[in-house]
Chain A
Amino acid sequence: MKHSHPSFLARAALSSAALGSLAVLGSAGSDGKLVIEAGRIVTQAGPDIEDGRIVIADGRIVAVGKASEVEKPWDAVVLGGKTMVAFPGFVEAHTSQGMDRSNETLDVAPFLDIRDSIDPVAYYFEDCLRYGITTVNVQQGANCIIGGRGMIVRPTGMTVEEMTVRPTFGIKLSAQPKAGKSRATQMQSLRYAFDDLRSYLEDLVEKERDERGHAKREALFQGRDLEEEKANGRAMGGTSWKVEGLELIPRGALDEKYAPLLDLVEGNQAVFFHCGDALDVAHALEVARTNGFLARTTLVIEEGCWKAADLMAEAGVPVVLDGPLVEVRRDPVTGDEEETFVPGVLQDKGVRFALSSENPNTRAPAFQAALAIGRGLDRAVALDAVTRVPAEILGMGNDVGSLEVGKLGNVALFSGDPLSVTSWVEHVVIEGRPVYDRSKDVRNKQLLEGIQQPNTAPPTQVTGEEPEHAEEDEHAKKDEAEKDEKKKEDEKEEKKDDGETPR
């Protein structure tokens, strides 16, 4: 067992507590209507709405506008209030969190599906709700050549099925060397994987042709129509290299090791290509171009990759910033420390980018967007980088990323300006279901106020007021005074003891 016993128990207790509140909340608005009221709605589709109202029915937004103009259905559950700010649920363009183990030892493993490793009670998914993230693209970790297939989930639910938004979405490739490999062997393995696919397909077709030649002659002698008997496959699609005659092979007959790769080459699968440093960008783009999936590729970049921003812009690929917002490095000649604000470079070069919660110091998307604005990024670009752009990267531009009629009812309700350090996510709604309420979030309270209580109560003169019940009963008061005196005496003795032998 991976977890030590106590922490596992604590975790189970926590998640069951969270689920308990979830169930109560969920039943209220699950198949009915939900109304969200807010002092301000940041729609991310046009100007903000003051004193707004959002109506969600059957999981989708049916109305959004000024409270005075949008009718409130009489049977709807109402959430929010005048002091709150409604914001589209944040979209995580790419993460390798939330899995039991995020990496596979096999170099090329496209036949794996991360649905088997997603851990619904991972802290990561809890944190998603705390940050207001409502849509998450989970992909295998970057320690691979070609990883398993990922999926898009909503960060709520006790089973992967409950969480699933899009099954088998995307596949992970890495240009950064897997542990134990150099960049040369990494690239060699990447190229080889697709060469291998090609020769596999060619062999299959050749063998099939041989067999068919034989079968044709047999059928001719026996007077049968062979073409009608044989289930045909599809000709190879895509925009790069082709294997002629692939229509002879039914797709179901392909080895599951190769079928997902063929999907890639035919442009049927989104690709998340990890780049650890600037030199990886050219490598990743080369592999994507050669094999025809450049149009489906998103680069997942570390902070040092900004130096290759021109290449990204030229290739027209969107990117997800996996590392910190600012690259801090030292000039080898002068010894000076230099800072580069990565989103700023990406914006200047015209690269479409999303921010992710992978950086442990600045995880919350709202915090990251705020820091980026502080650094001089346009407000609209920063907010798009945590909503609209990731939605487009996931091919869910029509479903999430803004608060518009017809889109999913995914809303984060903030206690104030979403970009202020003092604001909290108070409620999260996913597809019209309230799934998070900060007042019921035990762990958040622990992070804010401490896991254990202070060891001793602060002295009364500091906390001020006496407890109320003391005034009600004269006797009780007297007793307490006596107790206090005794306590003080004890303390004096303790002090004395301390003086002689500390601790």
Chain B
Amino acid sequence: MRSITARLVVLLVVVTAARTAAAQQRSEQDHWTVRAAMVYTAAGAPIEKGSVAIADGKIAAVGGGGGGDVLEVAAVTPGLIDLSIEIDTGNCSVEQSSEVAAALSVADSLDLFSYEWDRALRSGVTTALAVPADFDVVGGLGVVLKTGGPPTLEARLVRGDAVLRGAIGTQPSSGNSMPRFSAPQSFYYRRPTTRMGVEWVFRKFFWDTLQGEGADDERTADDQTVARRVLKGDLPLSIRARATQDVRTAIYLKEEFGIPRVILHDAVEAWREPELLVRSKVAVVLPPIPPDGRVEDGFVNDSYFVPLDAAKKLADLHVPFALSGQSNATVGTRIADQAGLAQRGGLSFEAALAAVTIEPARMVGVQDRVGSIEVGKDADLVLWSGKPFEPTSRIVGVLLNGRLMIDPRAETR
């Protein structure tokens, strides 16, 4: 049995290697000129009948010029950025032996061979934030990486320690129970079991850091080093907070400890706290908005509501926000569809484009490399068959680091 398994593994490795080689051969060329009826740069006004020149994986010119093969499309935008990618972030991507695992990075548990990276590319996502699953209160460090290219961390990493990820609400406590005298002990018996408990652990983490409490333990000291970077503003704190009360708690935490940069992730009901959002200067990542506004939480059977104009509400308040697709496979719910639906809710096209490109790039500090079409930035482009985000348009091509990942010249549906 074992030998069969071993053989299977070898076979899989061979197949994967072959596929990777094929992917790399898909296009060795990285000199292109993309001509489009509309170039939406996400950095200023769109350019009509413009072109983007690409050389050595970077954008060499915007507007005119350029060598290499010419790709003709209806529209081009920057590669999309999704801060909510959910690739292989199951139980294995977060250390659950402790509620706080701030110093551990999700980079060490990412499966770069997952088929879901391809799905991200098909959805137009070229840069993504991967974070630990939200089973811990403070789950660890998230990384920003490219969704394609050679399957090594070195090749794909855009930013190592991009955010510290935490979670408020019921998910970190779900599945936990009170210690009992007779029951066999497992680590699920000593974690918070309520929203209050989760919040307490969160506050204790920062409080202990400020006091230097427990720093003689090596692991705690490592965690506190990360916490100090968060408190200084070197590292944004990404908090998953869905319900209104969790949004409030996250904002109160920010204000209590003076945490400079906080991103509310998956903030379904952030729209209900306009005053707090503006006062606390948090950034928001919205979840995919379903047609009936209902967001179910499978873990705890909670149900939240998000209106179609949630993005517009945030834009009117000048709260920085990003839209997200959460690696959805269903057509009609992907990140590009979200940018369309946000416009149905009243958001302007420009703001919708920014919310899937330059805004998320700024939130995680990678705006110098990606997020807009500007000379010197990475050549990550999405090529469209019509006006971006309209249902009648489709992503026909994707360039990543100047490599053609999806070829607009191939006739596919």
State the A residues within 8 Å of B (CB).
324-326, 328, 330, 333-337, 339, 341, 344, 359-363, 367, 370-371, 373-377, 419-422, 446-452, 454-459, 462, 495, 498-499, 502-503
Complexed CA–CA distance, A398 and B293 (Å): 38
A339: B residues at CB distance < 8 A: 122
A450: B residues at CB distance < 8 A: 271-272, 305, 307, 309-310
A333: B residues at CB distance < 8 A: 15
> How far in angstroms is the closest Cβ of chain B from A87?
15
Q: Are B330 and A462 in contact (CB under 8 A)?
A: no
State the B residues within 8 Å of A (CB).
15, 19, 115-116, 118-119, 122, 199, 203, 244-245, 248-249, 252-253, 255-256, 271-276, 278-279, 290-293, 305, 307-310, 313, 316-318, 329-333, 340-341, 343-345, 385-386, 389-394, 413
B313: A residues at CB distance < 8 A: 454
Q: A458-B278, A458-B317, A503-B252 are in contact. Are A362 and B331 (CB under 8 A)?
A: yes
Q: Are A448 and B392 in contact (CB under 8 A)?
A: no
Q: Are A454 and B340 in contact (CB under 8 A)?
A: no
**Of B316, B343, B394, which one neighbours A422 at CB under 8 angstroms?**
B343
> How far in angstroms is the closest Cβ of chain A from B296?
12
Complexed CA–CA distance, A397 and B95 (Å): 62
What is the chain B residue whose CB lies nearest that of A361? B332
Q: Are A361 and B275 in contact (CB under 8 A)?
A: no
> How far in angstroms is the closest Cβ of chain A from B308?
5
Q: Are A328 and B308 in contact (CB under 8 A)?
A: no
Complexed CA–CA distance, A344 and B331 (Å): 14
Q: Is the interface of A mostly helix, strand, loop or mixed?
A: loop
**Of B19, B308, B391, which one neighbours A447 at CB under 8 angstroms?**
B308
Q: Is the interface of B mostly helix, strand, loop or mixed?
A: helix
22 contacts between A and B (CB under 8 A): A325-B331, A337-B118, A337-B119, A344-B413, A360-B290, A361-B330, A361-B331, A367-B391, A370-B391, A371-B392, A373-B391, A373-B392, A374-B390, A374-B394, A421-B390, A450-B305, A454-B273, A454-B274, A458-B275, A458-B278, A462-B318, A498-B252
A447: B residues at CB distance < 8 A: 292-293, 307-308
Q: Are B305 and A451 in contact (CB under 8 A)?
A: yes
Q: Are B199 and A502 in contact (CB under 8 A)?
A: yes
> How far in angstroms is the closest Cβ of chain A from B198?
12
7 other contacts beyond A376-B413, A419-B390, with CB at 8 A cut-off?
A: A324-B330, A324-B332, A374-B385, A374-B393, A421-B389, A456-B274, A502-B203
Q: Are B331 and A449 in contact (CB under 8 A)?
A: no
Q: Are A448 and B252 in contact (CB under 8 A)?
A: no
A371: B residues at CB distance < 8 A: 331-332, 391-392
> How far in angstroms is the closest Cβ of chain A from B258?
10
Q: Are A448 and B307 in contact (CB under 8 A)?
A: yes
Complexed CA–CA distance, A361 and B291 (Å): 7
Q: A371-B332, A374-B385 are in contact. Are A452 and B272 (CB under 8 A)?
A: yes
Complexed CA–CA distance, A335 and B313 (Å): 41
What is the chain B residue whose CB lies nearest that of A324? B330
> How far in angstroms is the closest Cβ of chain B from A408?
28
B331: A residues at CB distance < 8 A: 324-326, 361-362, 371, 375
Q: A337-B119, A362-B331, A458-B317 are in contact. Are A499 and B255 (CB under 8 A)?
A: yes
**Of A324, A336, A374, which one neighbours B391 at CB under 8 angstroms?**
A374
Q: Are A503 and B271 in contact (CB under 8 A)?
A: no
Q: Are A328 and B329 in contact (CB under 8 A)?
A: yes
Q: A371-B332, A502-B253 are in contact. Are A341 and B248 (CB under 8 A)?
A: no
A324: B residues at CB distance < 8 A: 330-332
> How far in angstroms is the closest Cβ of chain A from B412?
8
Q: A447-B293, A502-B252 are in contact. Are A462 and B386 (CB under 8 A)?
A: no
Top 10 closest pairs, chain A to chain B, by CB:
A502-B252, A370-B391, A450-B307, A362-B332, A458-B274, A456-B275, A421-B340, A341-B413, A344-B413, A374-B394
A452: B residues at CB distance < 8 A: 272, 305
Q: Are A502 and B256 in contact (CB under 8 A)?
A: yes
Q: Are A421 and B343 in contact (CB under 8 A)?
A: yes
Complexed CA–CA distance, A337 and B330 (Å): 12
**Of A374, A446, A456, A457, which one neighbours B386 at CB under 8 angstroms?**
A374
B318: A residues at CB distance < 8 A: 462
Q: A336-B118, A337-B115, A374-B392 are in contact. Are A455 and B244 (CB under 8 A)?
A: yes
B394: A residues at CB distance < 8 A: 374-376
Complexed CA–CA distance, A452 and B310 (Å): 13
> How far in angstroms is the closest Cβ of chain A from B238?
18
**Of A325, A335, A456, which one neighbours B115 at CB under 8 angstroms?**
A335
What is the chain A residue whose CB lies nearest that of B118? A337
> How far in angstroms is the closest Cβ of chain B from A333?
8
> How far in angstroms is the closest Cβ of chain B from A259?
41
> How far in angstroms is the closest Cβ of chain A from B40?
16
Q: Are A456 and B199 in contact (CB under 8 A)?
A: no
Complexed CA–CA distance, A462 and B319 (Å): 11
What is the chain B residue whose CB lies nearest that of A419? B392
Q: Are B341 and A421 in contact (CB under 8 A)?
A: yes
Complexed CA–CA distance, A421 and B393 (Å): 11
Q: Are B390 and A502 in contact (CB under 8 A)?
A: no
> How far in angstroms is the closest Cβ of chain B from A455?
5
Q: Are B307 and A449 in contact (CB under 8 A)?
A: yes
A363: B residues at CB distance < 8 A: 291
> How far in angstroms is the closest Cβ of chain A from B168?
10
Complexed CA–CA distance, A157 and B274 (Å): 40
A328: B residues at CB distance < 8 A: 329-330
B203: A residues at CB distance < 8 A: 502
> How far in angstroms is the closest Cβ of chain A from B88?
13
> How far in angstroms is the closest Cβ of chain B from A125?
15
What is the chain A residue whose CB lies nearest that of B316? A462
What is the chain A residue whose CB lies nearest that of B292? A447
